[in-house]
Every structure is written in C-alpha cells, then in structure tokens.
Amino acid sequence: MDKKGPVRGKAMSELTVWHDAAIGIKNDQVVWIGSGDEAKVLEASNVMDAKGRLVTPGLVDPHTHLVFGGSREKEMALKQQGIPYLEILKQGGGILSTVRATQAASFEELLEKALFHLDRMAMHGITTVEAKSGYGLDHDTEMKQLRVVKEANEKHPLDIVSTFLGAHAIPEDYKNNPEAFLVYMSELFEPIREERLAEFVDIFTETGVFSVPQSRRYLMKAKEMGFGLKIHADEIDTLGGTELAVELGAVSGDHLAVTSDEGIEKLANSDTIGVILPGTSFYLGKDDYARARQMIDAGAAIAISTDFNPGSSVTENLQLIMSIAALKLRLSPEEIWHAVTVNAAHAIGRGEVAGSIAVGRKADIVLWDAPNYLYIPYHYGVNHANTVIKNGKVIFERQAIR
C-alpha cells in the first residue's frame, strides 16, 4: 500500500495486495519488503508469524475532538424523545455543557482522560490521530487543551496531529457578536505558534455559528500566520464551506454531509481532501450522509474518520465507521481502506510518513484477525485488531480468554 500522494477518484477502487508477503523492520522503520520465500534466507533477531492474517498499515483517524471534560450520556434519552438540540442547550446540555466541564477540569484530569481514549484507539488499530481543541471557547481553556494534546503526544505511542478549533461555537458572552469572538480567538494564533501547539486552524462554518465571509477572514489570518487550514463545512446547511475550503487551499474540508454539486466539482478539481464523518450522521439518526460516492466518481480524494467527540459521535472504533461507510455511503472495501490509511494521512499533513507500508517509512502496522481486507467492514461492531505495531514496537496484542 505504498502510495505517492492521496488516491483520487476511480483509483480508490484499485488496492495493492500482496500475498505471502514478508516485512523487515529495523529500529522503527520498514527496511525490506518481499515474499515469504525470499525472507527465509534473511537473518532476524525476532520473527513474528502472521499465520495467514491480514496485515495492513496502521489506521489514521484524521478528525477527532480528543480532549474534553465530562460526558453527555443523559442527552441520548432526550434526543430519542425528539427534544430539539436548542432545547437541550436551554436545559444546560449540548456543546456548552462540555465547554463548562472542560473549563472546570484540571490539566491532569484532561490528560488522563485523553490517554485513556488514545489507548482505545490504539487497541482498534489506529496509529496516527488528529486532535482538535474547541471545548474551551476562552483563552485559558483552549491553551490548556492544546497543551494536553502536546503532552499526550509525548507520553503516548500514537502520533498526534494538533488542530486549533477555538472557533467551534459562540459562547453566551459573544452570541450577538461573533465577529468579536473570532478576533478574540485569533489573538491565540501567536502564542500557539510560539509554543508549537498546533499545525492547523479549523472553524465551524455553519448557520448560527460562523458565516462563509467570517470564516474566510479568520482562516486567511491563520494562513498568514503559517498555519495549515481545515474547515467544518456543509454539515447541516449548504453554505459553501466546501467551496471555501478549496478556495483557501485547506488541507481538508470535513463533514460535507450536504455539499452542493458545485462544491463536489470544485473539491474534485482541487488538492483539498474531503474528510467524511458517517458516524456522526449515524449517531444523530440523520438521513443526510455525505455524497461520498458522487465525490469519488467526480475524481475527489476522500478520507473517513470517527469524529470522536462526546456529543455526536461517541466512538474510538474506526473499524465500526468503516462498516457504516460501506452500508450508508455505499463505498467499496478498496475505497474504504484508502480512506482510512493513505488519504487520511494526507488529510492531516502526514502523507509522507503514515498510511502506507513502504521501505523507509515508520513501521506502523496492524495484524488483523481476518483472512482478507474485505472482512473488516463486513463483520461489524467488534474489534478485529490482533496485534498493533507502532514505530516497530508492539503496543497492543490481543490475548485469548480460555
């Protein structure tokens, strides 16, 4: 699965598969790939027999909200009763409840929680993950979240790519003046850059949050400061967020549940990757899923992510999202595997180091309790990962219960 650049359009249906293959690892890198017969003449200090299992690159999750306080399980019953989200907000729930919990949590509490979720991601075969802030909505808490991400990246085996999402919602103090809030959040660009706390800046471009013109001004300022760009685009209303992502050269436009035909065409003729989050539509019980099939047919590069967060997609299991992508997005297994490896890596600026098995790259590899790559999206809702190798070291190995 050695790919140069993201895989686009019809090429996503063509997957490189080796049979009876062997991989040589030295220190943290892949140094040799060949057949099983060729490997027999090599000397190795340790040999791992895959025993016919599927072997793939480590999964890449390109859109998560990893660091947050509290949880929102009580809201599920309210949603099932048909209570609108705005009413849940009035009752003290919704995103602002997570903001309050995150503001109240200590650095140590947030770090411990983040490491717990990273462990779960690793157990499910993820070796590289993006993590956003956005549950602070004030200077101190946003910086606290980003510093937690930095510390987690140093403490945990997984590679974490950090994104500043201070423009995630409008707090009560600014509800009548979103422009002033964006100015307030942009004041963090300089300290974030000085501490190297984030590579990307993101914004929620949506009705009732930030408009396309507001998002453009904010992101252009971030770009001038040297940040890569991401956009929460066209999740609920078709505002043109996808077109804005392409216009500004964002590395990705994310969600894209209601992207227009024009947006799909522009995405297909750009370097911007569409990051699709089918678990969010599934969890919220929506009928609107991103038109990933049309995007691919038009020639776009598509990635898939969990959107792990406490309100709208509460899972660290990217394998489950792969199944939802097959069932709801009608993607083929080949397209899905590209979407969670090479394309997902490119969607977070890691296309040259993650998402593929190739000589000279980090040895991020998963052995699956599956006979072939078709099996993972087919057998849904369980963890198929048998052994997860990160930087050449085993970080998870399934133990039989007997």
Q: What is the pLDDT of residues 76-117, one digit of tens each?
A: 888 888 887 767 877 777 888 999 999 999 999 999 999 999
Check: CB of residue 291 under 8 Å from CB of residue 264. yes
User: Does pLDDT of 226 surpass 70?
Assistant: yes
Q: What is the pLDDT of residue 2?
A: 46
- Range from 36-45, 164-173, 200-209 carrying the lowest mean pLDDT: 36-45
How far is it, in rounded angstroms, from Cα 380 to Cα 53?
Answer: 18
How far is it, in rounded angstroms, from Cα 198 to Cα 16?
Answer: 34
Q: What does the block give as tokens for 334?
A: 């080949």
Which residue is it, tokens 């590209």? 338
- Range from 92-96, 222-226, 261-265, 351-355 carrying the lowest mean pLDDT: 92-96
Q: What does the block give as tokens for 164?
A: 């500043």
- Range from 39-43, 129-133, 138-142, 337-341 carrying the lowest mean pLDDT: 39-43
Q: What is the pLDDT of residue 88?
A: 80
For 233, the enclosing helix (H) or strand (E) is strand 228-233
Mean pLDDT calculated for residue range 242-271: 98
H helix runs in 72-211, sequence order: 75-80, 85-90, 95-104, 107-123, 139-155, 178-186, 189-195
Q: Taking the CA atoms of 265, 269, 275 and 279 in sequence, report the sign of the dihedral they define.
A: positive
How far is it, in rounded angstroms, from Cα 127 to Cα 365?
Answer: 8
Q: What is the pLDDT of residue 86?
A: 63
How far is it, in rounded angstroms, from Cα 353 to Cα 163?
Answer: 18
Mean pLDDT calculated for residue range 37-49: 90
For 336, the enclosing helix (H) or strand (E) is helix 333-340
What does the pLDDT look like over 145-161, one tens digit per residue? 999 999 999 999 999 99
Mean pLDDT calculated for residue range 173-197: 97
Measured at the CA of 124, the angle between CA 390 and CA 381, to 5 degrees, comes to 165
How far is it, in rounded angstroms, from Cα 82 to Cα 97?
Answer: 19
Among residues of the chain, what percentage have pLDDT more than 90?
88
How far is it, in rounded angstroms, from Cα 374 to Cα 378?
Answer: 7
Q: What is the pLDDT of residue 85?
A: 73
User: Does pLDDT of 275 surpass 80?
Assistant: yes
Let me know how long the chain is: 402
Neighbours of 44 (CB within 10 A): 12
- Range from 50-64, 71-85, 370-384 carrying the lowest mean pLDDT: 71-85
Please provide the average confidence, as pLDDT, over all residues in the chain. 95
User: Does pLDDT of 385 surpass 60?
Assistant: yes
Strand partners, 161: 130
Q: What is the pLDDT of residue 92?
A: 74
User: Ramachandran region of residue 348, left (φ > 0), alpha (ψ -120 to 50) or beta?
Assistant: alpha
H helix runs in 46-94, sequence order: 75-80, 85-90
Q: What is the pLDDT of residue 1?
A: 45
Mean pLDDT calculated for residue range 373-392: 98
What does the pLDDT look like over 277-326, one tens digit per residue? 999 999 988 888 999 999 999 999 999 999 999 999 999 999 999 999 99
Q: What is the pLDDT of residue 402?
A: 78
